[in-house]
Every structure is written in C-alpha cells, then in structure tokens.
Amino acid sequence: MNPHNFSIEFFPPKTEEGTEKLRVTRAKLAELNPKYFSVTFGAGGTTQQGTLDTVVEIRKEGFDAAPHLSCVGGTRDSIRQILQTYKDHNIHRLVALRGDLPSGYGMGGEFRYANELVEFIRSETGDWFQIEVAAYPEMHPQAKSPQDDLQNFVRKIQAGANAAITQYFYNADAYFQFVENAQKAGVNVPIVAGIMPITNSSQLMRFSEMCGAEIPRWVRLKLASYGDDSASIKAFGLDVVTQMCERLLAGGAPGLHFYSLNQAAATTAIWNRLV
C-alpha cells in the first residue's frame, strides 16, 4: 500500500545543532521515499529564512519540498516578495495558511483569512504553484460552527487550492464525514489526512488543547495509565495510529501527511507497518 500522496512535515530548526539533527532525521525519512517534504512557516514571518533554507536544502538532496506560507500579519508586498523568492528557487509547491499570531498581537496585516491568500497567490503567480490548504475534520477552534467552517474551507478551494491537508485527529469517522460533506458541497480535490504519531503524552495533550484536536477518552486514559513509561506510550501510540491509518487508506483517503516534529522513528515505524 503506497498512497499517492505521502508527505512529511518538518519545522525549520533554530540552531546549528537542530539543523544537523534534522539532516540525520531527513536521511532516515528519505528512505521511505515520500512524495514531498513540507516545512512550516512561523506566523508573522518569524521563520521566513529558516523555512526557505530548509526547503532549498531538501531540494538539493533530490526531494520535492513545499514551504508553508502563513499570511497573518503580512502585507501584499511582503507576501509578493516571498512568492517571488520561492519562484526564483524554482519551488512549485506551497502550503497556504492564515497562521496564528501569539495572543496580544491582534491580527494585523492585509490578509484576514487563508482564502484571501490563495486568491492573491493565484492572481500574482497564475498556475505556478500547486497550493495545499488546511482542513479541519473536527472543526477549527475559532469557527462558528462545523457548517460555517466547511463553507470557509470550500471558499479556499474555490479560490484555487489544488488539495488539502487536514489537522490531525484520532477519530477516523470525523475525517470520513468531513470528506463526504466537502464532496457534497462540490469539493473534488484530494483531502489528505494529517497524521500525528503519538510518542509523548503531555506534549500531545498540550498541542491538542491549542489546535482543537480531540484525544478520545479511552486513548487519554490509556496514555495516563502509562505515566512516565515512555516505551509503553510509544508502543500503544504506534498501534492506535497505525490502525487508524489503515482504516483511512482502506476507506479511500488519498494520502497521509505526517507531522514528524523533526523525528524519524515514529513516522518510520508507522510507515513500515503500513507497507
């Protein structure tokens, strides 16, 4: 089973040591032969150079790479310049997002939502970029309702996105429902499932709180019962996430996008069980 759309996400390292570690991680993950790697972009442009440097390095290693681009806090001019830089490096893929500024910063900038960014990218660069956008099977935490969030998702596709990657989730049914509803609303682009391996329970709880991903009660209870026993957490996480990936692929998910957190082991272990 080798899904057509198998991709892996990194964040740009902040130190030389982190950069070196990511090279080692990447060499391991390259053996899985993903379709592309993606590299996140700090809202407000905080990682602009790091994102570009990482993408350029990955491309030199012979892999396709997609920088993320978040528009919050940006101006038309600043985004135009970033797009030109990506074009100058012959980068043809982008993950286009609104982003979240830290609380206290307000929204600022000339873009309010990701659909405006997608529209701008298309108006500035035509079909140069393959554009991926974010999707939320369990609803974006700031949305008014799931229906409203779905309409906002549809808006991004209508603005010219080619595909979507979901926020991570551990309820496969939420994904299938979302895809069905999106298709009923006229969306016919691939909606790739975002997968977060489970390796560390406190980190997972913290992330999930922020991004609105639900950890099912039984998974939470099991994780809590392992306390500091990291080996048991990883073994349990591997079983739960692999089984969900199997279900997703069997149910028609067009691909998987792994949030690797710059670690190779968990993604590799899941992948090796799937193939």
Please, what is the minimum distance in Å from the beta carbon of residue 102 to ligand FAD? 10
Confirm or reject binding of residue 5 to ligand FAD (CB under 6 A).
no
Confirm or reject binding of residue 98 to ligand FAD (CB under 6 A).
yes
Confirm or reject binding of residue 143 to ligand FAD (CB under 6 A).
yes
Q: Contacting ligand FAD (CB under 6 A), which of 55, 66, 79, 114?
A: 114
Judge whether 208 and 215 are in contact, CB under 8 Å. yes
Q: Contacting ligand FAD (CB under 6 A), which of 5, 54, 115, 242?
A: 115
Judge whether 199 and 226 are in contact, CB under 8 Å. no
Judge whether 67 and 51 are in contact, CB under 8 Å. yes
Confirm or reject binding of residue 26 to ligand FAD (CB under 6 A).
no
Q: Contacting ligand FAD (CB under 6 A), which of 159, 165, 191, 204?
A: 165
**DSSP conformation letters of 30-95:** HTT--SEEEE---GGGTTHHHHHHHHHHHHHTT--EEEEEE-TT--HHHHHHHHHHHHHTT--EEE
Confirm or reject binding of residue 226 to ligand FAD (CB under 6 A).
no
Map tokens 């390292």 to a residue.
13
Confirm or reject binding of residue 187 to ligand FAD (CB under 6 A).
no
Q: Which of residues 42-81 bind ligand FAD (CB under 6 A)?
A: 43, 68, 70
Question: Dihedral of the CA atoms 109, 113, 118, 123 (nearest 10)?
Answer: -50
Q: Which of residues 241-260 bind ligand FAD (CB under 6 A)?
A: none
Stretch near ligand FAD under the rule CB under 6 A, chosen from 20-28, 83-91, 109-117, 263-271: 109-117
Confirm or reject binding of residue 91 to ligand FAD (CB under 6 A).
no
DSSP state of 44: G
Confirm or reject binding of residue 138 to ligand FAD (CB under 6 A).
no
Map tokens 């993408």 to a residue.
55
Stretch near ligand FAD under the rule CB under 6 A, chosen from 54-62, 143-151, 219-227, 239-247: 143-151
Helix (H, G, I), strand (E, B) or coil at 52: helix
Q: Which residue, 171, 138, 140, 168, is CA-closest to 156?
A: 140
Question: Interhelix angle for 146-158 vs 114-125, to 10°?
Answer: 0
Rounded Cα–Cα distance for residues 87 and 145 (Å):
37
Nearer to ligand FAD, 109 or 194 (CB): 194
Please, what is the minimum distance in Å from the beta carbon of residue 266 to ligand FAD? 18
User: What residues act catalytically?
Assistant: 9
Phi-psi region of 109 (alpha: psi -120 to 50; beta: other; left: phi over 0): left
Which tokens is 111 given? Answer: 């873009």
Please, what is the minimum distance in Å from the beta carbon of residue 258 to ligand FAD? 11
Confirm or reject binding of residue 93 to ligand FAD (CB under 6 A).
no
Which tokens is 13 given? Answer: 């390292």
Q: Which residues bind ligand FAD (CB under 6 A)?
A: 40-41, 43, 68, 70, 95, 97-100, 113-115, 134, 140, 142-143, 148-149, 152, 155-156, 165, 167, 194
